[in-house]
Amino acid sequence: MPGGVRIAYATVGRGPALVVPAAWIGHLELQWQDPAMRAFYAPLTAHRTVVQYDGPGCGLSDAWPGRQNLETAVEVLTAVVDHLELERFDLLGISGAGAVSLAFASRHPDRVGRLMVYGGYADGGRIASAEVRTAVLAMIRAHWGLGSGVLADLFLPDASAEAKGHFAELQRYSATAEVACELLAHCYQLRVEGLLDRVATPTLVLHRREDRAIPYRLGRDLAARIPGARLVSLVGRSHFPYAGDSASIVRAILEFLGEPHGVPLSEGRPDRLTRRQLQVVAMVAEGLTNRQIAHRLGIEDRSAEGHLERIRLRLEVTSRAQIAAWWARGAPRD
């Protein structure tokens, strides 16, 4: 990269590459400590080699020498895929990274097999009013601790207090207040409206109808302006795909990629799970802890732990991420 900037990236899974450009701020190492995050990507890594990276100035990556914009974001994406010698790959652009993915696909249609945009938009100036944008940036700049908490409430409205706290902490570890302000302002300034009619790659647009961070109307408008794009409207308020009903998002992505999504991770005996155990599996897929599961079901913590142990034995898996992945890949819901 220019000036010797080093970009931290990670690959996990098997099969053709699925590149997930950096969205907002993040930290590769800390993100994978989140069971909900792992559960979201686990079914995808069964069919694709998922490539992720920390944006400049975030997580494990070096700072960028100057202001970041759409061009620098596309430059970083290009550098990562070139370094990995990926001639052709699929793209999953989440939130602001959707605009970056669209820009890359419009310029390099021969390199992108399929494009998926979740929670995206074509004009960052339409996310919120100028007054709201100014207030949010001022709050982050003045008090990053308070700002990170407010953003956690905005991005993950349906998450538990524990999950919001974890995300707020992740943001503070990922970037300084100055970098966070710069990158959020960058999100507000993203414009790709003039590129949409040049996107020739098969495109899937996914958006939650009650998304509190990026209004649904922006995703709907995006899909309408991309030739041949398909729009999938989803239920929920949380902005990030790993929160809430992530299983429906995973199924839509795997279907669009032409991959099976109804086969359990193991041969186990999923047909022998009780109705209560299926409830517990669904809560594991939401990212709930044993204590949170127990509270929701009105049982003791040790009873929840017992349910988890029996579920692991019957599905022949060893981790919560595998349980969540089994659910996301189309486990029986009845």
Do 218 and 277 lie in one domain? The reply is no
State the residue range of the domain holding 212: 2-128+187-256
Residues 6 or more apart whose Cβ sits within 8 Å of residue 261: 43, 250, 251, 254, 255, 328, 329, 330
**Would you say residue 63 lies in a domain?**
yes
- Tens digit of pLDDT at every position of the chain (334 positions): 767 899 999 999 989 999 999 988 999 998 888 878 888 898 898 899 999 999 999 999 999 998 899 999 999 999 999 999 999 999 999 999 999 999 999 999 999 999 999 999 999 999 999 999 999 999 999 999 999 999 999 999 988 888 888 899 999 999 999 999 999 999 999 999 999 999 999 999 999 999 999 999 999 999 999 999 999 999 999 999 988 888 889 989 999 999 875 444 444 444 567 878 888 888 888 788 888 898 888 888 888 888 888 888 888 787 788 888 777 765 555 5
**Would you say residue 145 lies in a domain?**
no
Do 104 and 222 lie in one domain? The reply is yes
Q: Of 203, 233, 256, which closes a domain?
A: 256
As beta bridge partners, residue 118 has 94, 206
**Would you say residue 115 lies in a domain?**
yes
Distance, CA of 148 to CA of 113 (rounded, Å): 36
Please answer whether residues 101 and 92 qualify as being in contact, where contact means their C-beta atoms are separated by less than 8 angstroms.
yes
Do 207 and 282 lie in one domain? The reply is no
Distance, CA of 96 to CA of 326 (rounded, Å): 29
**Would you say residue 177 lies in a domain?**
no
Number of folded domains in the chain? 2
Question: What CATH number does residue 212 fall under?
Answer: 3.40.50.1820
Q: Of 228, 256, 284, which closes a domain?
A: 256
Distance, CA of 331 to CA of 323 (rounded, Å): 10
